[in-house]
Chains A and B, each alone.
Chain A
Amino acid sequence: MSEKKNNQVSRRQFLNYTLTGVGGFMGAAMIAPMVGMAVDPLLKADSSGDFIYVMDVDEITEEPQRKSFSIEQQDGWYESEAERTAWIFRDENGDILALSPICTHLGCVVDWETGNQDNEFFCPCHNGRYDSKGVNIPGTPPTEPLHAYEYRVEDGRLYLGRANPRGGA
């Protein structure tokens, strides 16, 4: 008799189990979205798929033109609109190049033909020089070419993505 009783779940136990179970679900339902929100920015920190319209393709010349555009930037916890600049031109083969103006040495902003040389990009901080295609000139501080933006052309419109290193020199 008493053995049989041992296998049975008492009313108190049954209530205990069910309440813990239900309570657990309710707790999880409340906490999960909060955790999700907190962690979310970290999970999708990289929005590389975004391409932004910058200019029409037929406006692109062989002379580099400076164009600014803004992107949604997600930087860990912060979300903000960031301004980007690109030097856009065609090289001698007619290929489009969109270069980041950030010096690959220590991050100053380079400019077109502001140094003593024509047809070069110039960094005012330590006299860094890049040739007309943004390749660093040996003997000056930069260690690699200016980064190039990924681009896409749709309906005669130029869209830029993010800037990537090009390697080389």
Chain B
Amino acid sequence: MKWIYQDVQNYTHAKEYIDTAIMPLIPYSFEEDDDMRKLAFQNEVMVIFMTQIEKQLKGRVFLLPVYNYLKQNTLDMESNRLQETIDHIQKQPFEHVFLFTFDKKWRKYGTSLNAELIWLPAPKEGDLNQVDKQQLVQSQIGDIEELIKEQWNEES
């Protein structure tokens, strides 16, 4: 399910089945040109990951709006805001909350956040239309899907 009218309508009628929320953590910055390119590319890849996962697992996964933040912000501050967001979402309730990010800095916060933080290695910049890049992205999507399913199976 996505944050759009039709899906939210479906969600409100089938909450008991949609027990998993996924949210990408995506930094941005306009400080340095190289950084901008890199972050924009990572944003693109992350959005593809999330939309594909949502498509495969639509009936049980809710894709939350992106959590955007300035790359320059300290994560001590950011993690507080993030935890508030998670607390808010879990009231629904969502039993499983997954956060996905390419930002290494979050790894330290994995244990203190009340959610499953998945850090993914950032793919190298390049043309996303190239076949090898697409294959790489596709296989990573498969891995993420497995990861979510494993989590589901652990509970049952």
Which residue numbers of A lie inside 8 Å of B, CB to CB? 103, 105-109, 123-126, 141
Contact string against A for B residues 55-72, beta-carbon threshold 8 Å, 1 for contact and 0 otherwise: 111111100000000000
Residues of A within 8 A of B59 (CB): 103, 105-108, 123, 125-126
B58 touches A108 (CB 8 A): yes
Tell me, rounded to whole Å, the shortest Cβ–Cβ distance linking A141 to chain B.
7
**Bound CA–CA A76/B43 (angstroms):** 27
A124 touches B149 (CB 8 A): yes
B55 touches A126 (CB 8 A): no
**Bound CA–CA A151/B57 (angstroms):** 27
Partner of B17, one of A109, A124, A126: A126
In the complex formed, the residue of B with least CB distance to A123 is B59
A141 touches B17 (CB 8 A): yes
Question: Could you show 19 A-B contacts with beta carbons less than 8 Å apart?
Answer: A105-B17, A105-B59, A106-B10, A106-B58, A106-B60, A107-B58, A108-B56, A108-B57, A108-B60, A109-B56, A109-B57, A109-B58, A123-B59, A124-B57, A125-B17, A125-B57, A125-B58, A125-B60, A126-B17
In the complex formed, the residue of B with least CB distance to A124 is B149
Interface size class of B (residues with CB under 8 A): 10 to 19
Per DSSP, chain A at the interface is loop
Which residue numbers of B lie inside 8 Å of A, CB to CB? 10, 14, 17-18, 55-61, 149
**Bound CA–CA A49/B96 (angstroms):** 42
The answer to whether A126 and B60 touch (CB under 8 A), given A106-B14, A106-B17, is yes
In the complex formed, the residue of B with least CB distance to A127 is B156
Residues of A within 8 A of B56 (CB): 108-109
The answer to whether A109 and B55 touch (CB under 8 A), given A124-B149, A126-B17, is yes
Residues of B within 8 A of A106 (CB): 10, 14, 17-18, 58-60
In the complex formed, the residue of A with least CB distance to B60 is A125
Residues of B within 8 A of A109 (CB): 55-58
Tell me, rounded to whole Å, the shortest Cβ–Cβ distance linking A70 to chain B.
14
In the complex formed, the residue of B with least CB distance to A114 is B149
Residues of A within 8 A of B58 (CB): 106-109, 125
